[in-house]
Each structure stands twice: as C-alpha cells, then as structure tokens.
Chains A and B, each alone.
Chain A
C-alpha cells in the first residue's frame, strides 16, 4: 500500500461505497465506466442549487455575478490542471463524446475536402471513432486505422505509414478503456506534427489517473469527462490550442456564443464562448472543479502508485486462476483488466459476480473492433480507482473462482 494515500479515509468520503447489494458489501470495480462521487462533490452541487443558482454572464444581479465568477474560476482551475497556456482554451462540453464531435464537425469543416483522410487507431472507444468515420463518409474518404498487436500495443511503424498518406486530422486515445494500454501519445503527436497534422487526444480514461500537461504533450486538442474522474455526469472539457479554436467555425448556434445579432448578420463571441452555445451546466462545472481539486489534494503520484499496485496484485492473482486469459498486456498499462475464463461467456460471469456484490463491466466496452481482433464476444473488465483495496481484489478472485466452477 502506498503510504501517501490513506485509502480508508478516502473510502469514508464516498457514500456510495458503503452499501450492500444482494446482501453483499458492494465491491465497485466499474470505474472505467464511471467513478463514484466524493461527498465534497455532491455537497458542491447541492450548495450551488440551494444558494447560487442563476444564469451566468448576462445578469447584473448579485447571484448571477457570483455564479459567473465561480464558473470562470473553475475554468482557470481546469486550465491549470491540464497546464493549458490560456484559460480560454478550455471549452466546457457535455463530455468526451461531445468534445470529439465538436472537433470532428468544426475542424472537419475547416480542413476536410473530398477524398481527405482521418487517422485513428484500432483501439479507440466508439466515441473517438464513429464521429471520424461519419466525417469521412461525408467527405467521400476513408478512415485510416493504425493496427495494434496481440498485447494491445499500437504498431507505430504502421501508424507512421498511415501518417504518410497525409490525413488531415489524427485522433488517438491516451488510455484504452477496453485493454488499459497507455499509448505513447507524446511520441505519436510529435510524429504527426512533423507532417503538420493536428492531433486530438481522447483523455476520457486518463484524467483520473495521471497528470496531464497539454503543452508538454503538444496536443492540438484534449478531451475528457468529469464523471470518470469523481465529478458529475453531463459535463466535460475540450482543450484546444488557440490557433485552431480561433480558426474553427462554431459548432452550435444560439445564445451566449454571439456578439452582434441582427436578422441580416450575426457575429460570434470570442473564445471560449464561441463554442459554448446556450446556458451551460454551471452546477456541473463547479462540481467538476471540486472533483479535480479532490484529485490534486490526494496527488496524482500517490493515486497512480496505489492503482498500479492494485493492478499488479490483481494481474498476478488473476493469472493464478486456471483458464483465465487477460486481454491487453501492454508493458505500459493503466488500472484496467479485461479477461475471460475458459470459454465462459462474459455475460454469464458478470451476472454471477453481480449477485456476489461485485460491480464490473461485461461486453464489448464500446470497442467492438477490438473484440473482433481477438475473435471474442466481449470480456469481463475490472477497473480500479483510488478508493479500491487489495481486500476487494481478493473478494473478486474468490468470486471468479466460485462463478467459474458453476458455469463450466
């Protein structure tokens, strides 16, 4: 156990962890889908709706002024968290999916012409693949897909070959939600930049687990959601370099994002408001800020050390189970383990584990091409957060053994 992380104190902060399901203590191992929320986040949302609720940026009254200040302070906090050069490079969205769609739609209109390509990898979540695939269809072009190997590691030679086809945009996951692979995004970005190709990084799986420095990565866009990092659902971030955001056309139209409006012509607001049409999710933004501060208070280093120790322990214990196969064995891996036992269907295993109080995910994890690659119907996936314990891993191992015996 990492001495810097007081896991039992952390657990006390998360009300949802202290309940029973089917008369068994809940073991929550579905963190790659969404994490539970600490009390401070829940209280922040409640405080906003009890005492601060008002529409921002427009009101002259006290509440509106106060909420506007808090909202823009949150933008600064997020900018500092990901080391953005300017806080107006932080756009609030509904989440990673909307962030990717925003860039696909807006940067697509700016850069794409008939026959132009977009490059993704074969381990993308559907939400960082389907928007690009649809964009390519619109421009009568092909989606280029970089291969990965049996271990779940991207084939960088193949990636380089595809870059030489001069795609207009590259979109890559920082961490694979299905396999746990941590991609060498800094290197991949640098490879794309040598050919002047902008890169979007899908950071949905990374924001809760590792520090992000968008300037060091030199990515052009970075997308993530609050709910996978202890924050509320329905709120997320798109970081974009100023040089792109300035040139890109707006994604949606309405209030807030406009400057001058007449029936003849409308001019658009400056960054970041140009990309934030309509009343934003103010409570969500404040809740996200609290969640990010919670992470910073615990420390990314301490969190990563604890999660890596859990990953190593769980991997070793799982490998001792007869017939168990792990999918995704990249040497550089986040705390996500996908597995199958013998020929047992993941749905069967997941159903029985659920009845033993263990929440995890079964299926294709919104990454069907990965399952096709391994020729499997899906996997069972356990994913860890800062509040998980070694004892919970032991419960998981015993439960898998019991369920497997029943299902064979």
Chain B
C-alpha cells in the first residue's frame, strides 16, 4: 500500500471518534499490534533519546524496502510508534525520505511531534529517515 493510502486508512479509523478519550483508547489498542523489536536489539544502542518515555527502534532492509520494529515503556507512546511504523515500514527509502506526516494533524495527534513534547517521537521520525538514508546510500 502507498504511504498516502495508509495515512488515509488511519485518518478513517480515527474519524469516528470525537472524544479524546476514545481516540486515546484506540491509540492504546493500536500499540498492542506494534511489530515487536527482538530482545537482542532492545539495548541502549537502539534507544531513541527522549525525555520521558523510552522508545527502542530497529530497522532492516530487504528487497528494496525498509522494515521497522520497536517498543516503548509507555503505552500511548507505543500507539504512536505503531502509527509511524504502519506508515514507514515496508516502504522504499525514497518514499520514507519524502514522507509528509500531515495525517498526524488530521487525527489530532500533531502535538506529539512538537519538540516541546519531549517524548522522543520527533527524534524517532528523524531516526527512521536516517535509517532510510543509510540504506539508500548502501544499496543505491
């Protein structure tokens, strides 16, 4: 699926909820489907530096596409991590490098990507793009 259609699917999933609590309930549930990082990668080397909740991220490259796995010690963070993985994973490095994260605004979660939020998600997006850049250079 293209990045645009995945984002549209996510927007549709959230569109039925007006109430913040319902949105966050959905997010918490989504966190449970996160492609889990293998124990061997759940180390400080794979830790995204964020202030409050911890996020571990791993990337691999197969047949021209990048695959991400992750985990977090906070369930809301994990839900957002999974949203980002749904968008970024199984995409080509070029698609990842050019992604527009406007969908987060449309579902009302843009605040989580603000630098002041200090939950490391902005760093996570940067890290995902960094992986994409490295895979592109190595295999380009």
* Chain A positions near chain B (C-beta within 8 angstroms): 22, 345-348, 351-352, 355-356, 362-363, 377-378, 402, 406-407
Closest Cβ neighbor of B24 among chain A residues: A352
- Give the residue name and chain of the A residue nearest to B118 (CB): A363
Which residues 39-75 of B have a CB within 8 angstroms of A? Answer: 51-54, 73-75
Tell whether, in the assembled complex, residue A345 and residue B20 are in contact, meaning their CB atoms are under 8 Å apart.
no
Chain A residues with CB below 8 A from B54, complex form: 377
**How long is the Cα–Cα vector from A406 to B26 in the complex, in angstroms?**
10
Q: With A345-B74, A348-B74, A352-B21 as known contacts, state yes or no: A406 contacts B28, CB within 8 Å.
A: yes
Least Cβ–Cβ distance between A235 and chain B, in angstroms:
23
Closest to B75 in A: A348
- A407–B77 alpha-carbon span in the complex (Å): 12
Chain B's nearest CB lies how many Å from the CB of A350?
8
Q: In the complex, are the beta carbons of B52 and A377 less than 8 A apart? A: yes
A407 close to B52 (CB less than 8 A)? no
Task: Contacts A345-B73, A347-B77, A377-B73 given; indicate if A363 touches B24 (C-beta within 8 A).
Answer: no
Answer yes or no: B76 CB below 8 A from chain A CBs.
yes
Question: Contact between B24 and A347 (Cβ–Cβ < 8 Å)?
Answer: no
Contacts A352-B24, A355-B21, A356-B21 supplied; 5 other A-B pairs, CB < 8 Å: A345-B74, A345-B77, A352-B76, A377-B52, A406-B24
Complex Cα spacing A407 to B76, Å: 9
A345 CB contact (under 8 Å) in B21, B25, B51, B53: B53
B89 within 8 A of A: no
> Which of chain B's residues 66-109 have a Cβ closer than 8 Å to chain A?
73-77
- Complex: A378 Cα to B76 Cα, angstroms: 16
Whether the Cβ atoms of A355 and B53 lie closer than 8 Å is: no
Q: Is B119 an interface residue (CB 8 A)?
A: yes
Q: Find the B residue at minimum CB distance from A344.
A: B75
A377-B73, A407-B28 given; A347·B53 CB < 8 A: yes
A22 to B24, CA, bound (A): 13
Smallest beta-carbon distance A261→chain B, Å:
43
